[in-house]
């Protein structure tokens, strides 16, 4: 039995540490694509693209992970958040997705878009060319699932 105030404080610190560090071990990560550790990846792709690079996201799950049912944000090197709109989506079963920069003339629409249709970024089928990401540097990608039980993912890529 702990009788001193210092001993009680140390005991409470120990219990808090066990809870804080032990909780991640108790969370059910057995469901695929619910965590960053599930294999999401992001790289900059520059070859075969006119205008500027695109971000290629690989979601190893057959259903495209949570990319179809998520809000996606980009954080530029200056710390500014940018919402990512939905471009042409060919299949909800895609494992490879592309985020690109393209300004539309309409007011109030996003400047950044996500698609799984390679023709949207590698050909002129939909748009003339993508635009470069500005400013240059490390961009963060935040994937926030709409499901309450899913875990948000964060990726980064140098552009």
Please give the Cα distance from 113 to 126 (Å, whole number).
Answer: 13
Q: What's the pLDDT score for residue 25?
A: 54
Cα–Cα distance for residue pair 103/111, rounded to 1 Å: 5
Task: Judge whether residue 2 has pLDDT over 60.
Answer: no
Q: What confidence score (pLDDT) does residue 31 get?
A: 42
pLDDT at 60 (0 to 100): 60
38 closest CA partner among 18, 59, 52, 20 = 59
Pair type for strands 70-75 and 81-86: antiparallel
Three-class DSSP category at 18: helix
Q: Residue 140: what pLDDT?
A: 93
**Please, which residues have CB within 8 angstroms of residue 112's CB and are 6 or more apart in sequence?**
74, 82, 83, 84, 85, 99, 100, 101, 102
- 89-135: pLDDT as tens digits: 776 667 888 999 999 888 888 999 998 888 888 888 888 888 999 99
Tell me the pLDDT tens digit for each residue of 22-68.
655 554 444 444 444 456 788 888 877 778 899 998 876 554 455 76
């Amino acid at each position: 039995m702990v009788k001193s105030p210092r001993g009680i404080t140390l005991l409470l610190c120990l219990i808090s540490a066990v809870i804080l560090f032990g909780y991640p071990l108790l969370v059910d990560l057995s469901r695929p694509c619910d965590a960053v550790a599930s294999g999401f990846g992001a790289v900059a792709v520059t070859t075969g693209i006119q205008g500027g690079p695109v971000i290629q996201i690989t979601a190893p799950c057959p259903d495209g992970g949570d990319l179809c049912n998520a809000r996606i944000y980009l954080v530029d090197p200056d710390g500014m958040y940018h919402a990512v709109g939905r471009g042409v989506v060919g299949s909800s079963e895609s494992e490879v997705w592309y985020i690109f920069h393209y300004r539309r003339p309409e007011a109030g629409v996003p400047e950044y878009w996500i698609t799984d249709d390679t023709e949207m970024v590698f050909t002129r089928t939909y748009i003339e060319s993508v635009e470069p990401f500005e400013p240059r540097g490390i961009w963060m990608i935040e994937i926030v699932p709409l499901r309450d039980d899913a875990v948000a993912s964060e990726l980064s890529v140098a552009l």
